[in-house]
Structure 1
Protein backbone atom coordinates (compact mmCIF):
# COMPACT_ATOMS: atom_id res chain seq x y z
CA UNK A 1 0.00 0.00 0.00
CA UNK A 2 1.63 3.23 -1.16
CA UNK A 3 0.72 6.55 0.34
CA UNK A 4 1.01 9.86 -1.47
CA UNK A 5 0.34 13.05 0.46
CA UNK A 6 -1.11 11.00 3.29
CA UNK A 7 -3.98 9.63 1.14
CA UNK A 8 -4.87 5.97 0.61
CA UNK A 9 -3.75 4.31 -2.63
CA UNK A 10 -7.22 4.93 -4.11
CA UNK A 11 -5.59 8.17 -5.25
CA UNK A 12 -2.64 6.91 -7.22
CA UNK A 13 -0.02 9.13 -8.78
CA UNK A 14 -1.60 8.52 -12.18
CA UNK A 15 -5.03 9.60 -10.90
CA UNK A 16 -3.60 12.76 -9.37
CA UNK A 17 -1.64 13.59 -12.54
CA UNK A 18 -4.81 13.03 -14.57
CA UNK A 19 -6.73 15.44 -12.40
CA UNK A 20 -3.95 18.04 -12.64
CA UNK A 21 -3.95 17.72 -16.44
CA UNK A 22 -7.72 18.25 -16.45
CA UNK A 23 -7.35 21.30 -14.21
CA UNK A 24 -4.61 22.64 -16.50
CA UNK A 25 -7.02 22.56 -19.46
CA UNK A 26 -9.70 24.41 -17.47
CA UNK A 27 -7.18 27.01 -16.28
CA UNK A 28 -5.99 27.58 -19.86
CA UNK A 29 -9.61 28.03 -21.03
CA UNK A 30 -10.34 30.52 -18.24
CA UNK A 31 -7.09 32.36 -18.95
CA UNK A 32 -7.95 32.57 -22.67
CA UNK A 33 -11.44 33.89 -21.86
CA UNK A 34 -10.06 36.48 -19.42
CA UNK A 35 -7.67 37.78 -22.07
CA UNK A 36 -10.41 38.12 -24.72
CA UNK A 37 -11.83 41.67 -24.39
CA UNK A 38 -14.96 40.61 -26.31
CA UNK A 39 -15.74 38.10 -23.55
CA UNK A 40 -14.31 39.69 -20.41
CA UNK A 41 -13.55 43.15 -19.16
CA UNK A 42 -12.76 44.31 -15.66
CA UNK A 43 -14.52 47.35 -14.18
CA UNK A 44 -12.62 49.06 -11.37
CA UNK A 45 -14.84 50.47 -8.62
CA UNK A 46 -13.28 53.02 -6.27
CA UNK A 47 -13.89 56.22 -4.31
CA UNK A 48 -12.22 59.62 -4.83
CA UNK A 49 -9.55 59.30 -2.14
CA UNK A 50 -5.79 58.76 -2.14
CA UNK A 51 -5.66 55.12 -1.06
CA UNK A 52 -8.37 54.11 -3.51
CA UNK A 53 -6.57 55.89 -6.37
CA UNK A 54 -3.33 54.14 -5.40
CA UNK A 55 -4.98 50.70 -5.18
CA UNK A 56 -6.79 51.25 -8.49
CA UNK A 57 -3.48 52.04 -10.16
CA UNK A 58 -1.93 48.86 -8.73
CA UNK A 59 -4.92 46.84 -9.94
CA UNK A 60 -4.82 48.32 -13.45
CA UNK A 61 -1.08 47.59 -13.67
CA UNK A 62 -1.58 43.96 -12.61
CA UNK A 63 -4.50 43.42 -14.99
CA UNK A 64 -2.47 44.96 -17.83
CA UNK A 65 0.45 42.69 -17.01
CA UNK A 66 -1.87 39.68 -17.42
CA UNK A 67 -3.41 41.17 -20.61
CA UNK A 68 -6.86 41.50 -19.05
CA UNK A 69 -8.96 44.32 -20.49
CA UNK A 70 -9.79 47.15 -18.16
CA UNK A 71 -10.97 50.46 -19.55
CA UNK A 72 -13.81 51.28 -17.19
CA UNK A 73 -13.73 52.93 -13.78
CA UNK A 74 -16.71 53.63 -11.54
CA UNK A 75 -15.93 56.28 -8.95
CA UNK A 76 -18.47 55.90 -6.17
CA UNK A 77 -19.57 58.22 -3.31
CA UNK A 78 -18.88 61.47 -5.19
CA UNK A 79 -20.29 64.64 -3.64
CA UNK A 80 -21.98 66.92 -6.20
CA UNK A 81 -23.41 70.47 -6.14
CA UNK A 82 -20.72 72.37 -4.27
CA UNK A 83 -22.61 75.67 -4.64
CA UNK A 84 -25.78 74.32 -3.02
CA UNK A 85 -23.86 72.98 -0.02
CA UNK A 86 -23.49 75.32 2.94
CA UNK A 87 -21.44 73.08 5.22
CA UNK A 88 -17.75 74.01 5.41
CA UNK A 89 -16.92 70.39 6.14
CA UNK A 90 -18.72 69.13 3.03
CA UNK A 91 -17.15 71.86 0.89
CA UNK A 92 -13.70 70.82 2.17
CA UNK A 93 -14.52 67.18 1.37
CA UNK A 94 -15.64 68.17 -2.15
CA UNK A 95 -12.36 70.01 -2.76
CA UNK A 96 -10.42 66.97 -1.57
CA UNK A 97 -12.48 64.67 -3.78
CA UNK A 98 -12.01 66.98 -6.76
CA UNK A 99 -8.24 66.74 -6.38
CA UNK A 100 -8.43 62.94 -6.68
CA UNK A 101 -11.06 63.05 -9.43
CA UNK A 102 -8.68 65.25 -11.44
CA UNK A 103 -5.92 62.69 -10.89
CA UNK A 104 -8.18 59.83 -12.02
CA UNK A 105 -8.99 61.73 -15.23
CA UNK A 106 -5.32 62.55 -15.79
CA UNK A 107 -4.07 58.99 -15.20
CA UNK A 108 -6.89 57.29 -17.10
CA UNK A 109 -7.63 59.72 -19.91
CA UNK A 110 -8.29 56.80 -22.30
CA UNK A 111 -10.67 55.04 -19.85
CA UNK A 112 -14.41 55.38 -19.56
CA UNK A 113 -14.87 56.98 -16.12
CA UNK A 114 -18.29 57.16 -14.49
CA UNK A 115 -18.93 59.16 -11.32
CA UNK A 116 -21.65 57.90 -8.99
CA UNK A 117 -23.17 60.04 -6.24
CA UNK A 118 -22.87 59.60 -2.51
CA UNK A 119 -26.34 58.52 -1.41
CA UNK A 120 -28.07 59.07 1.94
CA UNK A 121 -28.65 55.32 2.23
CA UNK A 122 -27.10 52.03 1.11
CA UNK A 123 -28.16 50.51 -2.18
CA UNK A 124 -29.84 47.33 -0.91
CA UNK A 125 -32.16 45.02 -2.77
CA UNK A 126 -32.98 44.38 -6.39
CA UNK A 127 -35.17 47.44 -6.96
CA UNK A 128 -32.67 49.85 -5.40
CA UNK A 129 -29.88 48.31 -7.46
CA UNK A 130 -31.93 48.59 -10.67
CA UNK A 131 -32.66 52.23 -9.92
CA UNK A 132 -29.04 53.02 -9.09
CA UNK A 133 -27.59 51.08 -12.03
CA UNK A 134 -28.99 53.54 -14.57
CA UNK A 135 -26.06 55.78 -13.57
CA UNK A 136 -23.61 53.13 -14.80
CA UNK A 137 -24.53 53.92 -18.40
CA UNK A 138 -25.66 57.54 -18.41
CA UNK A 139 -23.84 60.00 -16.14
CA UNK A 140 -25.46 61.11 -12.91
CA UNK A 141 -26.73 64.67 -13.15
CA UNK A 142 -27.51 66.50 -9.93
CA UNK A 143 -31.16 67.48 -10.07
CA UNK A 144 -30.87 70.75 -8.20
CA UNK A 145 -28.98 73.74 -9.58
CA UNK A 146 -28.23 76.91 -7.63
CA UNK A 147 -30.62 79.78 -8.17
CA UNK A 148 -33.53 77.61 -9.31
CA UNK A 149 -36.88 77.49 -7.55
CA UNK A 150 -36.24 73.81 -6.81
CA UNK A 151 -32.94 74.59 -5.07
CA UNK A 152 -34.48 77.42 -3.03
CA UNK A 153 -37.39 75.19 -1.99
CA UNK A 154 -34.92 72.52 -0.87
CA UNK A 155 -32.95 75.07 1.14
CA UNK A 156 -36.14 76.43 2.77
CA UNK A 157 -37.20 72.87 3.61
CA UNK A 158 -33.78 72.18 5.15
CA UNK A 159 -33.93 75.41 7.16
CA UNK A 160 -37.44 74.53 8.40
CA UNK A 161 -36.21 71.12 9.59
CA UNK A 162 -33.25 72.76 11.32
CA UNK A 163 -35.59 75.30 12.94
CA UNK A 164 -37.90 72.52 14.20
CA UNK A 165 -34.88 70.72 15.69
CA UNK A 166 -33.63 73.93 17.34
CA UNK A 167 -37.10 74.71 18.74
CA UNK A 168 -37.40 71.18 20.14
CA UNK A 169 -33.95 71.50 21.73
CA UNK A 170 -34.87 74.90 23.19
CA UNK A 171 -38.10 73.49 24.62
CA UNK A 172 -36.19 70.53 26.12
CA UNK A 173 -33.70 72.92 27.73
CA UNK A 174 -36.49 75.12 29.12
CA UNK A 175 -38.25 72.12 30.67
CA UNK A 176 -34.98 70.94 32.17
CA UNK A 177 -34.34 74.42 33.62
CA UNK A 178 -37.77 74.57 35.29
CA UNK A 179 -37.22 71.19 36.96
CA UNK A 180 -33.95 72.28 38.52
Structure 2
Protein backbone atom coordinates (compact mmCIF):
# COMPACT_ATOMS: atom_id res chain seq x y z
CA UNK A 1 0.00 0.00 0.00
CA UNK A 2 2.76 2.43 0.99
CA UNK A 3 4.73 1.56 -2.14
CA UNK A 4 1.70 2.26 -4.32
CA UNK A 5 1.22 5.68 -2.72
CA UNK A 6 4.92 6.45 -3.11
CA UNK A 7 4.81 5.49 -6.79
CA UNK A 8 1.73 7.68 -7.35
CA UNK A 9 3.46 10.61 -5.65
CA UNK A 10 6.55 10.14 -7.77
CA UNK A 11 4.43 10.03 -10.94
CA UNK A 12 2.67 13.24 -9.92
CA UNK A 13 6.00 14.96 -9.20
CA UNK A 14 7.39 13.91 -12.60
CA UNK A 15 4.28 15.15 -14.39
CA UNK A 16 4.42 18.49 -12.57
CA UNK A 17 8.12 18.91 -13.45
CA UNK A 18 7.41 18.13 -17.10
CA UNK A 19 4.55 20.63 -17.26
CA UNK A 20 6.73 23.30 -15.63
CA UNK A 21 9.49 22.79 -18.22
CA UNK A 22 6.91 22.88 -21.02
CA UNK A 23 5.64 26.23 -19.71
CA UNK A 24 9.16 27.64 -19.47
CA UNK A 25 9.98 26.56 -23.03
CA UNK A 26 6.72 28.10 -24.31
CA UNK A 27 7.49 31.40 -22.55
CA UNK A 28 11.01 31.37 -23.97
CA UNK A 29 9.63 30.75 -27.48
CA UNK A 30 7.45 33.87 -27.07
CA UNK A 31 10.54 35.88 -26.20
CA UNK A 32 9.94 36.17 -22.47
CA UNK A 33 13.07 36.01 -20.41
CA UNK A 34 12.91 34.25 -17.07
CA UNK A 35 14.44 35.45 -13.86
CA UNK A 36 14.43 38.63 -11.88
CA UNK A 37 14.26 41.96 -13.66
CA UNK A 38 17.45 44.01 -13.54
CA UNK A 39 17.48 46.74 -10.88
CA UNK A 40 18.78 49.25 -13.43
CA UNK A 41 15.98 49.67 -15.99
CA UNK A 42 16.83 49.12 -19.66
CA UNK A 43 16.25 52.80 -20.51
CA UNK A 44 18.85 53.86 -17.91
CA UNK A 45 21.46 51.18 -18.64
CA UNK A 46 23.09 53.10 -21.50
CA UNK A 47 23.37 56.23 -19.34
CA UNK A 48 24.94 54.25 -16.48
CA UNK A 49 27.42 52.61 -18.84
CA UNK A 50 28.38 55.94 -20.40
CA UNK A 51 28.88 57.56 -17.01
CA UNK A 52 31.00 54.61 -15.87
CA UNK A 53 33.20 55.00 -18.95
CA UNK A 54 33.54 58.68 -18.02
CA UNK A 55 35.21 57.49 -14.78
CA UNK A 56 32.28 57.97 -12.38
CA UNK A 57 32.57 55.67 -9.38
CA UNK A 58 30.24 52.76 -8.80
CA UNK A 59 29.21 54.23 -5.44
CA UNK A 60 28.28 57.57 -7.00
CA UNK A 61 26.28 55.87 -9.75
CA UNK A 62 24.47 53.73 -7.19
CA UNK A 63 23.51 56.81 -5.13
CA UNK A 64 22.39 58.74 -8.21
CA UNK A 65 20.20 55.95 -9.62
CA UNK A 66 19.01 54.76 -6.19
CA UNK A 67 20.15 51.15 -6.64
CA UNK A 68 22.74 48.92 -4.99
CA UNK A 69 26.42 48.77 -5.90
CA UNK A 70 25.86 45.22 -7.16
CA UNK A 71 23.18 46.41 -9.60
CA UNK A 72 25.62 48.93 -11.08
CA UNK A 73 28.35 46.27 -11.30
CA UNK A 74 25.93 44.00 -13.14
CA UNK A 75 25.05 46.75 -15.62
CA UNK A 76 28.72 47.52 -16.36
CA UNK A 77 30.21 44.04 -15.84
CA UNK A 78 31.66 43.72 -19.34
CA UNK A 79 33.28 47.17 -19.07
CA UNK A 80 35.21 46.41 -15.88
CA UNK A 81 39.03 46.17 -16.26
CA UNK A 82 39.50 42.50 -15.36
CA UNK A 83 36.79 41.51 -17.86
CA UNK A 84 38.05 43.43 -20.92
CA UNK A 85 41.78 42.63 -20.86
CA UNK A 86 41.43 39.15 -22.35
CA UNK A 87 38.56 39.80 -24.76
CA UNK A 88 39.98 42.90 -26.46
CA UNK A 89 43.35 41.41 -27.36
CA UNK A 90 41.98 38.10 -28.72
CA UNK A 91 44.44 36.30 -26.47
CA UNK A 92 43.36 32.76 -25.62
CA UNK A 93 42.39 32.30 -22.01
CA UNK A 94 45.09 30.61 -19.94
CA UNK A 95 44.57 26.93 -19.31
CA UNK A 96 43.16 26.12 -15.91
CA UNK A 97 45.32 24.09 -13.58
CA UNK A 98 44.26 20.47 -13.24
CA UNK A 99 45.25 18.31 -10.28
CA UNK A 100 46.04 14.67 -11.07
CA UNK A 101 47.50 11.88 -8.99
CA UNK A 102 50.68 10.62 -10.65
CA UNK A 103 51.75 7.11 -9.60
CA UNK A 104 54.97 7.10 -7.59
CA UNK A 105 56.80 4.86 -10.07
CA UNK A 106 56.13 7.39 -12.83
CA UNK A 107 57.21 10.29 -10.60
CA UNK A 108 60.45 8.47 -9.68
CA UNK A 109 61.21 7.86 -13.37
CA UNK A 110 60.52 11.48 -14.30
CA UNK A 111 62.69 12.83 -11.48
CA UNK A 112 65.67 10.99 -12.99
CA UNK A 113 64.89 12.21 -16.54
CA UNK A 114 65.90 15.36 -18.37
CA UNK A 115 62.97 17.78 -17.97
CA UNK A 116 62.12 21.30 -19.02
CA UNK A 117 62.23 23.87 -16.18
CA UNK A 118 58.41 24.14 -16.11
CA UNK A 119 58.04 20.36 -15.89
CA UNK A 120 60.67 20.13 -13.15
CA UNK A 121 58.93 22.90 -11.17
CA UNK A 122 55.59 21.10 -11.39
CA UNK A 123 57.14 17.88 -10.07
CA UNK A 124 58.94 19.71 -7.26
CA UNK A 125 55.69 21.38 -6.17
CA UNK A 126 53.74 18.11 -6.16
CA UNK A 127 52.35 16.81 -2.87
CA UNK A 128 53.24 13.26 -1.84
CA UNK A 129 50.26 11.15 -0.78
CA UNK A 130 50.94 7.79 0.87
CA UNK A 131 49.13 4.81 -0.69
CA UNK A 132 49.73 1.50 1.06
CA UNK A 133 53.35 0.54 0.38
CA UNK A 134 53.81 3.14 -2.34
CA UNK A 135 52.78 6.71 -2.94
CA UNK A 136 51.26 9.01 -5.51
CA UNK A 137 52.33 12.53 -6.34
CA UNK A 138 49.44 15.00 -6.50
CA UNK A 139 50.46 17.33 -9.33
CA UNK A 140 48.70 20.58 -10.22
CA UNK A 141 49.54 21.77 -13.72
CA UNK A 142 48.01 22.87 -17.00
CA UNK A 143 46.78 19.98 -19.18
CA UNK A 144 49.60 20.71 -21.68
CA UNK A 145 52.23 20.08 -18.97
CA UNK A 146 50.53 16.81 -17.98
CA UNK A 147 50.66 15.73 -21.64
CA UNK A 148 54.36 16.64 -21.87
CA UNK A 149 55.12 14.64 -18.73
CA UNK A 150 53.20 11.70 -20.16
CA UNK A 151 55.22 11.89 -23.38
CA UNK A 152 58.43 11.76 -21.33
CA UNK A 153 57.21 8.48 -19.76
CA UNK A 154 57.15 6.61 -23.11
CA UNK A 155 60.32 4.60 -22.31
CA UNK A 156 58.44 2.85 -19.49
CA UNK A 157 56.60 0.84 -22.17
CA UNK A 158 59.90 -0.71 -23.25
CA UNK A 159 59.78 0.87 -26.69
CA UNK A 160 63.10 2.75 -26.56
CA UNK A 161 65.58 0.13 -25.39
CA UNK A 162 64.71 0.44 -21.70
CA UNK A 163 63.94 -2.90 -20.03
CA UNK A 164 60.27 -3.36 -19.29
CA UNK A 165 59.22 -3.37 -15.65
CA UNK A 166 55.57 -4.48 -15.47
CA UNK A 167 54.78 -2.32 -12.42
CA UNK A 168 56.18 0.78 -14.13
CA UNK A 169 54.28 0.02 -17.33
CA UNK A 170 51.06 -0.37 -15.36
CA UNK A 171 51.70 2.91 -13.49
CA UNK A 172 52.38 4.72 -16.77
CA UNK A 173 49.13 3.44 -18.28
CA UNK A 174 47.25 4.52 -15.17
CA UNK A 175 48.67 8.05 -15.53
CA UNK A 176 47.91 7.94 -19.27
CA UNK A 177 44.25 7.17 -18.51
CA UNK A 178 44.05 10.11 -16.12
CA UNK A 179 45.64 12.50 -18.63
CA UNK A 180 43.44 11.07 -21.40
CA UNK A 181 40.35 11.94 -19.35
CA UNK A 182 41.39 15.64 -19.57
CA UNK A 183 41.08 15.62 -23.36
CA UNK A 184 37.57 14.16 -23.45
Q: Which TM-score band applies after superposition, normalised by the shorter structure?
A: under 0.3
Q: Counting helix residues as a fraction of each chain, which structure ranks higher?
A: 2
TM norm structure 2: 0.24
